[in-house]
Chain A
């Protein structure tokens, strides 16, 4: 029993690491732009396909492909900011609807470019770290955990310790006051979009060899991300990370001891309960970012 609990916990930590990358990006975008990005799951998918195109098809080293995924999807984020969210700045529902349109475009492009079939990616490494007889973790998963930890720490440092980060948080709290201090709202929006989208892309790229990749994979990603940001409090980055851990543990344990569909239902029910009881989230205040 102990082995099973320990093994499931390791799996949950892995899940928490990439979920938090996705959720933190979504929260950052909402915090600065006030828009819920429905296409976030498809940005994750785009990151995975960068790895398919570079690493699986063209033999580019894996971590170069992951970096390319971060940058490419970050640029997609900039495109969304410029083409969709900037013109619709005064219309939050419009931004949301436009991101739904963007989601469909990305999905269709993936189908046209790669086909609907599942992509197979050769494993990066077959190594496994063994703690005990029945407790082990593949090194590929360790890569995801370590990278997520490093990137989230870097983001935290950037937001709390650099002038850009201050500017970003200032315009999240009060765009008008920030603009009066000479902070460019457009510039901070672009930075937030690049980081938010890039993180989603990197999460997709990192996990690409470990999951099944198809053009419609973004659906479950965005549902997970919604659950996490609602449970964590829509505006809170720390809340998003904590909620990712909570959700990953609940989901992994229910999957292991019962089944996957029930785990999905549990996650959604958790979110509905939080929405009903405490709409500001378990860890968040009502403020944005």
Chain B
């Protein structure tokens, strides 16, 4: 019952929130919801102990796929978004064959290389990927009405509601996966790989599974982004964006489901409210870099460790 009240309160807060902020902040909210899905799906991959540097490019695969099937084939946009997720998952499945011959550092570099190859292919093949300029004029979501609310996707508020529902659904699925026997096996693959293997767990199959599922959700996030901003190019998914995702995950901590999301929300608020108000947006990479260094040095378990300390103290009382 208490949980139910909390969720309803959260839902109401999310419905009210965009109406209280400025237009540009509404846009930030849209990006924030999409980024939350990216970083939460990234965590599913890190559960098995592998850190990829290709996650943002995989997200781009979803964006390109959805943009192309809606633009060239005239597919309905919501279906296009699902196609985007499937495309990312398929590419990840193909990549997993070479990549999961590696572990740890080699996987990191291998995923980086694979991602760069995909980005260079987008750049090289102007047909259909549009070369360095990318794809412009991507179909927006078609407007529709659900009776009490008229979705007008020219407005960021409408898109925020739409993406928030999609992302919430995805997060719920990710959460269910993590708590399922499969998710528990992911943990085992990371922390007790020899024991898991001895117990008959096919390590490689579970690593592949985590990679494919995480990539599918990253693809959905990419597609959501593409249909919102309407234009994508290879540089939208470059290493700098990957570093941001990495920073959110590390600052938040990857030990819990909410850790990376917390990192993403806190850093976005810091970025949009503090830096923009102070006129320091130019220094964003500098500040992100410093935060990354300071948190790895002094807060290796992320913001979630602070949350855990606070809640534990409360429970003790």
Interface on A for B, CB 8 Å cutoff?
36, 83-84, 87-88, 91-94, 96-98, 100-105, 107-109, 111-112, 219, 223, 226-227, 230, 259, 261-262, 264-265, 268-269, 271-272, 275-276, 279
Docked-complex contact B283 and A108, CB < 8 angstroms = yes
Nearest 6 pairs between A and B by C-beta? A104-B289, A101-B292, A108-B286, A101-B293, A105-B289, A108-B285
Docked-complex contact A104 and B239, CB < 8 angstroms = no
30 A-B contact pairs sorted by A residue (CB < 8 Å): A91-B300, A93-B51, A94-B300, A96-B105, A97-B292, A97-B296, A98-B292, A100-B243, A100-B289, A101-B289, A101-B291, A101-B293, A101-B296, A103-B289, A104-B243, A104-B285, A105-B293, A108-B286, A109-B286, A219-B239, A226-B113, A227-B113, A265-B124, A268-B116, A269-B117, A271-B109, A275-B98, A275-B106, A275-B110, A276-B98
CB distance from B275 to the nearest CB of A (A): 12
User: Residue B124 contacts which of A105, A108, A261 (CB distance < 8 angstroms)?
Assistant: A261
Docked-complex contact B98 and A272, CB < 8 angstroms = yes
CB distance from A176 to the nearest CB of B (A): 21
Considering the chains assembled together, what is the distance between the CA atoms of A100 and B250 in angstroms? 12
B284 cross-chain contacts in A, Cβ below 8 A = 108
CB distance from A50 to the nearest CB of B (A): 20
A227 cross-chain contacts in B, Cβ below 8 A = 113
Docked-complex contact B51 and A112, CB < 8 angstroms = no
Chain A's interface: helix, strand, loop or mixed, by majority?
A: helix
CB distance from A140 to the nearest CB of B (A): 29
A102 cross-chain contacts in B, Cβ below 8 A = 289, 293
Say whether, besides A261-B124, A265-B120, A112 and B286 are in contact (CB < 8 Å).
yes
CB distance from A286 to the nearest CB of B (A): 12
A94 cross-chain contacts in B, Cβ below 8 A = 296, 300
Considering the chains assembled together, what is the distance between the CA atoms of A267 and B296 in angstroms? 32
Docked-complex contact B290 and A101, CB < 8 angstroms = yes
Docked-complex contact A261 and B243, CB < 8 angstroms = no
Q: How many B residues touch A, CB cutoff 8 Å?
A: 37
Residue B169 is within 8 A (CB to CB) of chain A in the complex:
no
Seed contacts A83-B293, A88-B296, A88-B297; 10 additional CB < 8 Å A-B pairs:
A84-B293, A97-B246, A97-B292, A100-B289, A102-B293, A104-B289, A111-B282, A112-B282, A227-B113, A265-B121
B247 cross-chain contacts in A, Cβ below 8 A = 101
Docked-complex contact B112 and A104, CB < 8 angstroms = no
Chain B's interface: helix, strand, loop or mixed, by majority?
A: helix
CB distance from A271 to the nearest CB of B (A): 5
Residue B288 is within 8 A (CB to CB) of chain A in the complex:
yes
Say whether, besides A94-B296, A261-B124, A226 and B109 are in contact (CB < 8 Å).
yes
B117 cross-chain contacts in A, Cβ below 8 A = 265, 268-269, 272
A219 cross-chain contacts in B, Cβ below 8 A = 239
Residue of A nearest to B293 (CB): A101
Residue B187 is within 8 A (CB to CB) of chain A in the complex:
no
Interface centre among A101, A230, A264 (most CB of B within 10 A): A101
A230 cross-chain contacts in B, Cβ below 8 A = 106, 109
B106 cross-chain contacts in A, Cβ below 8 A = 230, 275, 279
Docked-complex contact B297 and A98, CB < 8 angstroms = yes
CB distance from A29 to the nearest CB of B (A): 14
User: Residue A268 contacts which of B120, B239, B286, B292 (CB distance < 8 angstroms)?
Assistant: B120
B71 cross-chain contacts in A, Cβ below 8 A = none
CB distance from B95 to the nearest CB of A (A): 10
Considering the chains assembled together, what is the distance between the CA atoms of A171 and B120 in angstroms? 40
Residue B90 is within 8 A (CB to CB) of chain A in the complex:
no
Say whether, besides A100-B246, A223-B116, A279-B102, A108 and B296 are in contact (CB < 8 Å).
no
B243 cross-chain contacts in A, Cβ below 8 A = 100, 104
